[in-house]
């Protein structure tokens, strides 16, 4: 009987998978020698010794109402079976297991109710990101497992309970290889990861990193299973459904396990599981539900009843606009930064950094990692890594360095090499979504084709330079012509997603004095603008410092900074730069800025050469003297200026002087916060890059730390408790920490959770500390959306605790109109304009609570 393909049915109906296989097996008494052939805990051997039991297991879940059953092959890959001496049986055991499940599914299928078999492929026992197994061995192991499953007749391959994104890549590629070998490329690949109670996968990946990395591999479905119950999964389910357009699966445990009289129990009843899964279906738009550890046929029967009671069996439509991003093993980074370019640190490059080259020659790996970590601290969103050095083994050096960087920096890597073999070596070490730098047509199309195949295989973005067989494009027309060819080649022919293609239209030095070089910057800016219009979904990148080659460092820093601003205004989205050597426009003296712009745009004033005029401005001055403006006379203005400039030198002396005239609260509220307000305005206007915002924040923190011991502290009983956190996806904490200090010094208990906190953790802390209110902070515009989502989740949980919202991107109108509508008690959502407004709100909240008794 022909079945409707699984993916088509998932689009038309919410489907139900089975429950816990392990739970079912562990609930029986076994003769280890007879049933397991002495291989205790090797459940997969039951497919051969007790096919009757395995068939009964599948039948129980099918009779309970499951649309899909999973094969008893969770650990049946070559590596795991090898631990039992059964590696040689891998393909056969998987084929036998799939055949058992296939027979039971077919027996209960009808034309109106087809049943499906999912080939279970678990995470194994060794994690490649921790160096416990190499990539090639893992991919080969999963290939062999997938061969048996597909031969046995599965409808899809389900990679489940995965905890390491590099394992996921190996399993996907192994499964793909098996499909091709058997001519069954249409068999879908579904991936389900396990988020621990800590909020991350076992190796530390957050759900954003998992989604970006797995989606880049071109799978058919993504989901969650195991580790926790549905309550702990809720936030992650919502995240996936809001950002992944394909099918989403959710298979939680029957709650968090508890120990009862020495035995593990799962507390969630079938009715409670059905309530949660009903919410995931109706509110989030989940396509496939089921159960994991602790769930039984009774749980599945209740889920069947819940689904059958729906008036419309179809999944709830989801409007999803995926956000272009790359990812390290740990976290995702959007390619479109808010009021900033995607900054790629340039100093982990043997071609461009003398210090890096010297450390590489000395094989000082710790020193090389130190350079990477410096760039991360400076605010780089990703790191360009190039170890090509004459006389050295590039592939070996890349492997040595990347294996260290993947564990010691949290930002994604840009793999910079012209050798596909070197790129492949690096990609086999990285679980996240990397960027490959780069492809071009200088030697034809063979090498870029090979690199693009690697990008598709490992889920990487690609930088494409406007170079062809005739050389590097310098005119606007040539840059656009080659970009058109690159787009057709990478996107149309090789299937690279548009958002993963970075155009580098190239910039060349304008500092030679030769007439042919004077218009390079103008041509590049015009090309950027036209590329942004022609390919709005693609990224546009420059190796920025090329424009200033030949100048002294001080002049290069100014010219690079001004050129960056204009390139960003024209549509550039990314740049390879030295972040700490870029200055925001407001810090560059007007005369220098104008001279730099004259040089960039080749503007001659009164017949004077703009290059000569620009160079002359630097001949007598040191970089620092040119960059700094005259210090203001008043200490109040000096302090405000320090905050805006992120300048901590001499800060304590100025604070001491200010304390002679003002109390600490006045200094914070009337002087320092005024500086931070200007920082926010500059950031919002695009005149200050994010790294400089962070420098200002660090200066503000240092000032507040110095003033805190001098602030009056209210003694006596605590007035109330506030749980405070920066919301998920946001790392900015200056405002939050200031609220902490102000409230603590006024007699309140503040539970400061830190940055990037998911709502589950905030709720748990509020309940644990019996908080009077919750405070959520964030600087970015996207953080305001997350705040609203958090309020919606709190409403779903039936919470009505007062909530304070604060952050530079928030407005009173947004809080009082949009956010309030999302909450259980709209009157309990408050806009905290600053820390002192937060203090007044807490005073009012706690007074109202006392009045209520």
Q: Which of 271-275, 525-529, 820-824 has the lowest mean pLDDT?
A: 820-824
Q: Does residue 348 have a known ligand-binding role?
A: no
pLDDT exceeds 80 at position 363: yes
Q: Is there a binding annotation on residue 241?
A: no
Mean pLDDT of 655-678: 86
Residues with Cβ within 8 Å of 35's Cβ and at least 6 positions away in sequence, in order, are 46, 49, 50
φ and ψ at residue 344, rounded to 5 degrees:
-105, 115
Model confidence at 715: pLDDT above 70: no
Cα torsion through 97, 102, 103, 106, rounded to 10? 170
pLDDT tens digits for 277-320? 999 999 999 999 999 999 999 999 999 999 999 999 999 999 89
Could you tell me the residue ranges of all domains in the chain?
6-308, 325-585, 630-708, 713-852
Residue 629 pLDDT level (bands cut at 50, 70, 90): very low
Residue 789 has pLDDT above 60, yes or no: yes
Distances (CA, A) of 284 to 137, 151, 233, 512: 38, 35, 12, 59
Token digits of residue 85: 């001496």
Q: Strand, coil or helix: what is 763?
A: helix
Identical topology for domains 325-585 and 713-852 = no
For 6-308, CATH gives 3.20.20.330
pLDDT of residue 27: 78
500 is in an annotated binding site: no
Answer yes or no: is 42 a known binding residue.
no
The confidence score (pLDDT) of residue 322 equals: 84
For the four alpha carbons of 72, 78, 79 and 84, in that order, the dihedral sign comes to: positive
pLDDT at 622: 47
Provide DSSP, 672-709.
IHHHHHHHHHHHHTTSS-HHHHHHHHHHHHHHHHHHGG
**Helices 135-151 & 165-182 angle (0-180, nearest 10):** 50
Domain spanning 630-708, CATH architecture: Orthogonal Bundle (1.10)
- Taking a C-beta distance cutoff of 8 angstroms, is the pair 268, 34 a contact? no
**pLDDT score of 623:** 43
Is residue 730 part of an annotated ligand binding site? yes
Predicted pLDDT of residue 262: 67
Given a contact cutoff of 8 angstroms between Cβ atoms, the answer to whether 266 and 289 are in contact is: no
Dihedral sign of CA atoms 579, 582, 585, 589 in order:
positive
User: How many Cβ atoms from other residues are within 10 Å of residue 185's Cβ?
Assistant: 8
Query: Is it the case that residue 616 has pLDDT exceeding 70?
Result: yes
**Banded pLDDT at 766 (limits 50, 70, 90):** very high
Task: Show the beta-strand stretches assigned E in 581-720.
Answer: none
Which among 72, 96, 82 is positioned nearest to 23, based on CA atoms?
A: 72
Residue 689 has pLDDT above 80, yes or no: no
Whether 292 has a binding-site annotation, put simply, is yes
Start-to-end CA distance of the chain, whole Å, equals: 69
User: Is 835 flagged in the annotation as binding?
Assistant: yes
Cα 452–Cα 500–Cα 463 angle in degrees, nearest 5? 60
Q: How far is CA 666 from the centre of its chain?
A: 40
Burial class (CB in 10 A: 0-12, 13-18, 19+), 75: buried
The pLDDT of residue 702? 87
pLDDT at 687 > cutoff 70: no
CATH no. of 713-852 = 3.40.50.280
Neighbours of 156 (CB within 10 A): 22
The pLDDT assigned to 713 comes to 67
Q: Is the pLDDT of residue 741 over 90?
A: no
**Which residues neighbour 496 within 8 Å (Cβ) at sequence distance 6 or greater?**
452, 455, 456, 462, 490
68 carries a ligand binding annotation: no
CA distance 278 to 309: 10
In the chain, % of residues over pLDDT 70:
95
User: Tell me: the pLDDT tens digits for 97-117?
Assistant: 999 999 999 999 999 999 999
3-state SS assignment for residue 629: coil
Asked if 6 contacts 155 with a C-beta cutoff of 8 angstroms, the reply is yes
Q: How far is CA 64 from CA 4, 70, 153, 269, 477, in A?
A: 21, 14, 22, 16, 66
Judge if the upstream peptide bond of residue 438 is cis by omega within 30 degrees of 0: yes
Please tell me the predicted confidence (pLDDT) of residue 471: 95
Question: Closest Cα partner for 210 from 524, 432, 3?
Answer: 432
pLDDT of residue 430: 98
Q: What does the alpha-carbon distance between residue 259 and residue 378 come to, in Å, rounded to a whole number?
A: 47
Which sequence positions are flagged as catalytic?
A: 730, 732, 783
pLDDT, position 708: 82
Indicate whether 686 pLDDT > 70: no
pLDDT class for 648, splitting at 50, 70, 90?
confident
Q: Are 384 and 348 in contact (CB under 8 A)?
A: yes
Backbone angles phi, psi at 347, to 5 degrees: -90, -5
Q: Where is 669: in which H helix or E strand? A: none
Choices 1.10.357.10, 3.40.50.300, 3.20.20.20, 3.40.50.1980: CATH for 325-585: 3.20.20.20
Which of these ranges, 30-34, 574-578, 709-713, has the smallest mean pLDDT?
Answer: 709-713
485-to-336, 453, 503 alpha-carbon distances in Å:
24, 17, 11
- Count of C-beta atoms within a 10 Å radius of residue 580: 18
8 A C-beta contact, residue 563 and residue 331: no
Task: Return the minimum-mean-pLDDT range out of 154-158, 257-261, 548-552.
Answer: 257-261
Q: Mind listing the pLDDT tens digit for each residue in 189-240?
A: 999 999 998 889 999 999 999 999 999 999 999 999 998 999 999 999 999 9
* Three-state SS annotation for 14-46: CEEECCCHHHHHHCCCCCHHHHCCCCCCCHHHH
Question: pLDDT band at residue 584, thresholds of 50, 70 and 90?
Answer: confident
Q: 393: annotated binding-site residue? A: no
Q: What is the mean pLDDT of residues 701-729?
A: 81
Count of CA atoms in the C-beta half-sphere (13 A) of 231: 14
777 annotated as a binding-site residue: yes
Scanning the structure block, which residue is given the tokens 């249409």?
186
pLDDT at position 624 is 45
């Amino acid at each position: 009987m022909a079945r409707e393909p699984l993916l088509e049915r998932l689009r038309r109906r919410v489907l139900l998978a089975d429950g816990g296989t392990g739970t079912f097996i562990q609930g029986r008494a076994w003769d280890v020698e007879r049933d397991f052939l002495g291989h205790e805990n090797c459940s997969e051997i039951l497919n051969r010794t007790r096919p009757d039991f395995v068939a009964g297991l599948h039948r129980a879940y099918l009779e309970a109402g499951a649309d899909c059953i999973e094969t008893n092959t969770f650990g049946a890959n070559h590596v795991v079976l090898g631990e039992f001496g059964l590696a040689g049986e891998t393909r056969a055991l998987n084929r036998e297991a799939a055949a058992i499940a296939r027979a039971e599914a077919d027996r209960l299928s009808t034309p109106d109710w087809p049943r499906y078999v999912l080939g279970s492929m678990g995470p194994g026992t060794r994690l490649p990101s921790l160096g416990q197994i190499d990539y090639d061995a893992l991919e080969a192991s999963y290939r062999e497992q997938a061969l048996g499953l597909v031969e046995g007749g599965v409808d899809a391959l389900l990679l489940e309970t995965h905890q390491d994104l590099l394992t996921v890549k190996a399993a996907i590629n192994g499964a793909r290889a098996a499909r091709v070998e058997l001519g069954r490329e249409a068999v879908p690949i579904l991936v389900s990861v396990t988020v621990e109670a800590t909020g991350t996968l076992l190796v530390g990946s957050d759900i954003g990193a998992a989604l970006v990395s797995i989606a880049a591999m071109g799978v058919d479905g993504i989901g969650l299973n195991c580790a926790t119950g549905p309550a702990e999964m809720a936030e992650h389910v919502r995240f996936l459904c809001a950002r992944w357009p394909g099918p989403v699966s959710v298979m939680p445990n029957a709650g968090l396990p508890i120990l009862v009289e020495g035995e593990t129990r799962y507390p969630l009843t079938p009715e409670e599981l059905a309530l949660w899964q009903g919410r995931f279906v109706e509110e989030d738009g989940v396509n496939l539900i089921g159960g994991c550890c602790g769930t039984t046929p009774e749980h599945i029967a209740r889920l069947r009843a819940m689904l059958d009671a729906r008036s419309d069996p179809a999944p709830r439509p989801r409007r999803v606009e995926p956000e272009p991003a790359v990812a390290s093993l740990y976290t995702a980074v959007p390619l479109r930064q808010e009021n900033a370019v995607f900054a790629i640190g340039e100093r982990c490059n043997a071609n461009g950094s003398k210090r890096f080259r010297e450390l590489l020659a000395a094989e000082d790996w710790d020193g090389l990692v130190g350079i990477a970590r410096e760039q991360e601290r400076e605010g780089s969103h990703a790191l360009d890594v190039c170890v090509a050095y004459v006389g050295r083994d590039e592939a070996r050096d890349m492997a040595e360095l990347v294996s260290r960087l993947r564990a010691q920096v949290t930002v994604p890597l840009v793999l910079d090499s012209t050798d596909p073999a070197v790129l492949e070596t690096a990609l086999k070490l990285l679980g996240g979504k990397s960027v490959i730098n780069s492809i071009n047509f200088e030697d034809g199309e063979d090498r870029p084709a090979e690199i693009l195949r690697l990008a598709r295989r490992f889920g990487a973005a690609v930088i494409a330079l406007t170079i062809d067989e005739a050389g590097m494009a310098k005119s606007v027309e040539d840059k656009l012509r080659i970009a058109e060819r690159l787009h057709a080649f990478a996107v149309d022919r090789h299937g690279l997603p548009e958002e993963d293609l970075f155009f580098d239209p190239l910039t060349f030095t304008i500092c030679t004095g030769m007439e042919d070089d004077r218009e390079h910057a103008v041509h590049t800016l015009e090309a950027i603008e036209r590329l942004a219009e022609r390919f709005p979904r693609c990224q546009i990148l420059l190796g920025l410092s090329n424009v200033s080659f030949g100048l002294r460092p001080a002049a290069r820093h100014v010219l690079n900074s001004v050129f960056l601003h204009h390139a960003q205004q024209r549509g550039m989205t990314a740049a390879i730069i030295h972040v700490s050597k870029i200055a925001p426009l407001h810090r560059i003296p007007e005369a220098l800025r104008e001279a730099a712009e004259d040089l960039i745009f080749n503007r001659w004033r009164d017949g004077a050469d703009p290059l000569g005029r620009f160079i002359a401005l630097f001949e007598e001055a040191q970089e620092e003297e040119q960059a700094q403006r005259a210090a203001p006379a008043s200490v109040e203005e000096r302090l405000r200026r320090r905050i805006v400039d992120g300048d901590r030198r001499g800060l304590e002396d100025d604070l001491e002087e200010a304390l002679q005239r003002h109390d600490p609260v006045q200094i914070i509220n009337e002087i320092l916060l005024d500086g931070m307000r200007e920082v926010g305005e500059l950031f919002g206007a695009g005149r200050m890059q994010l790294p400089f915002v962070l420098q200002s924040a660090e200066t503000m923190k240092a000032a507040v730390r110095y003033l805190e011991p001098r602030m009056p502290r209210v003694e006596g009983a605590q007035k109330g408790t506030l749980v405070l956190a920066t919301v998920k996806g946001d790392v900015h904490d200056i405002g939050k920490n200031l609220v902490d200090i102000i409230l603590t010094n006024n007699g309140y208990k503040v539970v400061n959770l830190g940055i990037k906190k998911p709502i589950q953790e905030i709720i748990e802390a509020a309940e644990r500390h019996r908080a009077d209110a919750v405070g959520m902070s964030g600087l970015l515009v996207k953080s305001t959306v997350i705040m609203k989502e958090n309020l919606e989740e709190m409403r779903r949980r039936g919470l009505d605790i007062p909530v304070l919202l604060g952050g530079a991107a928030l407005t009173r109108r947004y809080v009082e109109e949009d956010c309030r509508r999302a909450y259980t008690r709209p009157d309990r959502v408050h806009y905290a304009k600053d820390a002192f407004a937060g203090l007044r709100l807490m005073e009012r909240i706690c007074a109202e609570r006392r009045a209520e008794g």
